[in-house]
Structure 1
Amino acid sequence: MKATQRDYAQAAQKAGKALRICFFCGADEAGASAAAKKVIATLDEPGERVELSGQDLKSDPSRLLDEARSTSLFGDSRHIYARVSGEDAHEAIKTYCELADLGDAAGAWPIFIVATSATDKSRSAKLLIKRADALVAIFYPPDLRSVTADVRAMADAAGMRLNGNLAERIAHAAGLDVRLAQSEVDKLALYLDASPQSPKQANPDDFDMIGASTEEDGFMPLVNAALGGEVRKLPGELRRMREVSLNPVAVTLALERRAAQLARLSANLRPGDDMQQFLKSQGVFFREHREIGDQLQRWSGGKLERLVPRLTQLHRSLLANSQTAELILSQELAQIARYAAARR
């Protein structure tokens, strides 16, 4: 079956224990990852997590089903979590479907696949969409309004009431990443000692005390310097990244989200459109009009098609090389900035 970011939870709940494999895809990698986490949390006994990469499945397609049929060392329950790019999992999914149809997947542990750079039109997704034991959920790039609504829901669940535009501020500070927004809400609830049993009112001053990511000291100045070709500004932003200990993977996530946003906007932009009016009609935050408008002129068409998978590969490289992640990210950002600058 197929679902979107709005109804995947209901679809998963409706399928119940018949659901054996979930495929989360689309441009919003953060939303897809958060959704996988949410569905896993609904399992009666999630048990041990077995993590697989796209390379694991690409080199050994039978491993997905083998791991799903294996028992843990202590005989406990388990679930399989695979993070892949594009069609890396296609052959593994195909093998799973063929053997499942023969009855060889009976009693297998649930499988959750987060596929960056894949869509519901991909070959992998098409193998699963019509299956009763599978769910394909597509996640589109979030906008400020939807993430603000998510933040309010997070706050309600944590026992907090948010004053004024604080929910919007948290959403913007997190770069529209629902995982980072959840982290900020959790920290704010802890700071206020809030809970559903003891609700608290949260004010902007409270967020100032705990907020780690803001427009001034967060990811976006670094993202904008790279994608905007600001080669002279980039060294200072890289220095700031080290000084305030920005997480390289989190910075890359912000880059991926901006690239996905640019791809969506570029697809809708028509020759002769007034840029300011266009951005406003697309729901782009007004303070980002200048940066995004400039980046749209630098990254369009085939340039974006090459940038998105490159960022996905960067993400994987950082996860695999945590000790040198900062250096790898700095080198890649410098190359991106030089390429963007050449388009002036």
Structure 2
Amino acid sequence: MAAERVGNPVVAIAPTVKSTAKIVKLAIDSPRAMAFACYAPTAQDAERLATTIAGENGLRPAPGVARRLVDTTGGDRAVISREIEKLALYLDAAPDRPADLDHHALDAVGADLGDAEMSRAIDAVIEGRVDDLGAELAVLEEAGTSPIPWLRQLVRRLIALADMRGEIDRGDSVDAVMKRHRVFFKEEASTARSLRRWTPVMLATAIQRVRTAERAIMASGNAGGVVAEAAVVALSQAIARRN
């Protein structure tokens, strides 16, 4: 911070640092830095957020609807927003023509996607099972949910593989790395295969492509779920060719 010019900005994430810590005071006192405190929302905060976003889209949530929205989206603000936009379109609601958002609307078009469904699609991508991926994507589309949750879960899986692959490239054995990362014993065989198939360059490229797809879906006037589907099918095909 004493330098007049630097090559890149730096972001330090320190969840356990207190406001009285020296590094926080240093950032506050410096004209070249800032300290910003973020707090994870409580369940009530998330429900209020869902209610507010619904109101901005011309929806009046019935009792319990905001909680269902939070539960089915994992409290993710971006996903909540997309679900509410979908519900507003379904109910033909807008700020100038408000409509009641009840549980029947959620049952009709709301997200009802479990971890198992997302995991099957992600496994198909990682393992290059293109035919299976088509069927799993159809299940996800039928659920009517935003692709954002499973795209983010896919990124987390790719990052975990990248971390393990880096340790292997530094000389550690596959078994030792999987044990260190506490890979579930039923997933050891598939994880070992993935670590052999995915190169560091492929993992870095895949992470970038999935994140690009997520940003594209969150942009206004986007093409919808086809953006995510095209990205993951391309990744699955690339791995299938390596097999």
**TM surpasses 0.5:** yes
In the TM superposition, residue 248 of structure 1 has moved relative to its aligned partner by 0.7
Instruction: Provide the C-alpha distance between the structure 2 equivalents of 1:296 and 1:274, rounded to a whole number of angstroms.
Output: 11
Aligned-partner Cα distance in 2 for 1:322–1:285: 40
In 1, Cα distance between the equivalents of 2:158 and 2:14? 19
Using the TM superposition, give the Cα deviation of residue 243 of structure 1 relative to its aligned residue in structure 2, in angstroms. Answer: 1.8
Q: CA deviation at 1:295?
A: 1.9
Deviations 1:126-159 (A, max 9, x none): xx6xx4x34699xxxxxxxxxxxx9xxx89xxxx
Task: Give the ranges of 4+ consecutive aligned residues of structure 1 lying more than 6 Å apart after TM superposition.
Answer: none
Alpha-carbon separation, structure 2, partners of 1:5 and 1:245: 37
Work out the CA distance in 2 between the residues paired with 1:293 and 1:214.
26
Residue number in structure 2 paired with 1:224: 123
Check if 1:312 corresponds to 2:211: yes
Structure 1 unaligned blocks of 5 or more: 21-99, 102-127, 138-149, 156-178, 184-211
2:201 paired residue number: 302
Mapped contact 2:126–2:194 kept (Cα < 8 A): yes
Shift of 1:276: 3.8
State the SS of the aligned residue for 2:131.
coil
Which of 3, 13, 16 is the matching residue for 1:7?
Answer: 16
Do 1:12 and 1:135's aligned partners in 2 also have CA atoms closer than 8 Å?
no
Question: Would the aligned equivalents of 1:299 and 1:340 in 2 still touch at CA under 8 Å?
Answer: yes
- 1:236-259 per-residue CA deviation (whole Å, 9 max, x = no partner) reads 101111122342111211111111
Residue of structure 1 in register with 2:178 after alignment: 279
Which of the numbers 153, 160, 165 marks the counterpart of 1:261? 160
Taking structure 1 as reference, are residues 11 and 227 closer, same or farther at Cα in structure 2, changes over 3 Å only? farther
| Pair 1:213–1:19, CA change in 2 (3 A) | farther
Q: State the superposition RMSD in angstroms.
A: 4.1
Change (3 A) 1:135 1:234: same
Distance 1:296 1:11, change over 3 A: farther
* Amino acid in structure 1 at the alignment position of 2:134: P
After superposition, the C-alpha distances for 1:242-281 in whole angstroms (9 at most, x for unaligned) are 1223421112111111111111111111488553443122
Do the aligned partners of residues 342 and 182 (structure 1) sit closer, same or farther apart at CA in structure 2, a change above 3 Å counting?
Answer: same
Q: How does 1:140-179 map to 2 (within 5 A)?
A: none
Judged with a 3 Å threshold, the aligned counterparts in structure 2 of structure 1 residues 316 and 246 are, in CA distance, closer, same or farther, namely same
Q: 2:199 is paired with a residue of what secondary structure?
A: coil
Match of 1:341 in 2: 240
Q: Normalising to structure 2: TM-score of the pair? A: 0.56
- In structure 2, the CA distance between the partners of 1:6 and 1:238, relative to structure 1 (3 Å rule), is same
What are the within-5 Å matches in structure 2 for residues 119-158 of structure 1? 131=33, 133-134=34-35
Contact 2:209 2:231 in 1 (8 A): no
Given that residues 127 and 236 in structure 2 are in contact (C-alpha distance below 8 angstroms), is that contact kept between their aligned partners in structure 1? yes
The structure 1 residue matched to 2:151, chosen from 231, 234, 252, is: 252
Aligned-residue offset at 1:327: 1.1
* C-alpha deviation, 1:230, in angstroms: 0.3
Q: d(CA) in 1 for partners of 2:126 and 2:185?
A: 18
Where do 5+ consecutive residues of structure 2 fail to align? 2-10, 44-71, 77-111
CA distance in 2, matches of 1:237, 1:229: 13
Task: Give identity over the alignment, percent.
Answer: 21
> Per the alignment, do residues 182 and 328 of structure 1 end up closer, same or farther by CA in structure 2, a change over 3 Å counting?
closer
Equivalent residue number for residue 240 of structure 1: 139
Task: Name the amino acid aligned to 2:126.
Answer: L
Q: Aligned equivalents of 2:188 and 2:205: distance in 1?
A: 24
Instruction: Check the 8 A contact 1:225/1:233 in 2, yes or no.
Output: yes
Whole-Å separation in 1 of the counterparts to 2:127 and 2:242 = 10
- Compared CA separation, residues 338 and 216, structure 1 to 2 (3 A): same
1:280-322 deviation line (CA, Å, top 9, x unaligned): 2222233432332222222122212222222221111111156
TM-score (norm 1): 0.41
